[in-house]
Structure 1
Amino acid sequence: MAKQYLENSLERNLKISRVEENRYSPNPNSFLKNDVHVEFLDFIDDRVARTYPFVYNPPYNNIVERINGPSVIAVITTKSPRWFYGKETIIRQAAVYEYKK
């Protein structure tokens, strides 16, 4: 269910549509011009017994975050629009959403 909420939020707020499992294309009214990719997605929930808060710092990415409760962690990338000539730039954004009880 958390994954569906994330997908709905991405589609609504960024004005993009899902075309594959982790790839979205911008709608005509989106400010984005290139596909958006969900590169990483992790769910911190009650399926694993743990004590909160804890520091989330997996060895496979550069995210370091204090987690206070169940959370969704996502890394999303897209190519930057090229308004000027030059090297292509990838925009990478990590986000942590914690559920409040």
Structure 2
Amino acid sequence: MEYSFNEGPAKGLEVFEIRAGYMEVIDVEEILKEKGIYEKTIFYGIEDIFTDNLIWKIFSFIKRNSPSFVQFYRLPTDELHGVMTRFEM
């Protein structure tokens, strides 16, 4: 697992990126506190996939029936803002 601050998209904004392996379970809140970040708001993205392709339909089904990012990492729901992207393939 790696984490670091990256160049922000605009003056006054910073990006903190966490990279973890597929099967690696991490404690996001603990990592943020370790770096001195006490979250006020956490933004996350989710995708919704619409397609006629059978393979992508199976992938979409598995994705819908898997725990969400928020559930998996047990993030504080009162501090979250989600952004949904719809993919039509």
TM-score, normalised with respect to structure 2: 0.27
Answer 1 or 2: which has greater helix percent: 2
Answer 1 or 2: which has greater strand percent: 1
Q: Which structure carries more relative contact order (alpha carbon 8 Å, separation 6+)?
A: 2
